[in-house]
Amino acid sequence: MLELRFHGRGGQGAVTSAELLAQSAIAKGIYAQAFPSFGPERRGAPVVAFARISEQPIRNRTAVRHPNIVLVLDPSILRIVNTADGLPPDGIHIINTTKTIAELREEFGDKIGPNAVTLDANHIAQEEIGRKITNTTMLGALLRATNIVDKDILIEKLKERFGRIADGNIRSLNRAFEECCIEKKEG
């Protein structure tokens, strides 16, 4: 079973990202779930969302404590939460940032996961969608790093979810897929 944790702020689409990923996995014919965890429901407040994907039925409904993959939709979250908490040695940490992986490691040390993926999702989303809502952009980096679901299925789910504004989200996803930087530890 793959477990994912999405860190963001209200209004950035962390919950939507988890839902779209789960819907894409289910459309592929495997089991999935997605659910949020947040305090005061207001734009800008920290939000955590979770997703699980498995070939077998998923019975666990608790928060993801030991994720295989963590996505950070807002880089300011790194200053207040250790988003790498619970990541295993082969875990993947996908971060929206303008910084290089080396700069992040220098600033945050072991709070950056062992296998890091970075991209300037804010810039891509602003150019392609017209707003810094990074959910679909981050999913593009996730697909590049993991191939967790079929890109074509995810694009179909984007079309269903976003309707007439899907094109910008699809462009954002595709650009992130191409532009993200991946650092995987050997061994």
- Enumerate residues 6+ apart whose C-beta is below 8 A from 163: none
Residues in CB range of 102: below 8 A, 6 or more apart: none
Q: Is the pLDDT reported for residue 187 higher than 60?
A: no
CA–CA gap between residue 34 and residue 18 (Å, rounded): 5
pLDDT tens digits, 36-48: 986 666 677 889 9
Mind listing the pLDDT tens digit for each residue in 122-167? Answer: 999 999 999 999 999 999 999 999 989 999 999 999 999 999 999 9
SS3 27: helix
Q: CA 157 to CA 20: how far, in whole Å?
A: 7
The confidence score (pLDDT) of residue 184 equals 80
The residues spanned by each domain of the chain are: 2-183
pTM: 0.94
Rounded distance between C-alpha atoms, residue 133 and residue 126, angstroms: 8
Superfamily of domain 2-183, CATH level 4: Pyruvate-ferredoxin oxidoreductase, PFOR, domain III (3.40.920.10)
CA distance 179 to 25: 24
Quick: pLDDT tens for 147-158: 899 999 999 999
Residues 3-40: tens digit of each pLDDT: 999 999 988 899 999 999 999 999 999 999 999 986 66
**How far apart are alpha carbons 105 and 169 in whole angstroms?**
30
What is residue 132's DSSP assignment? -
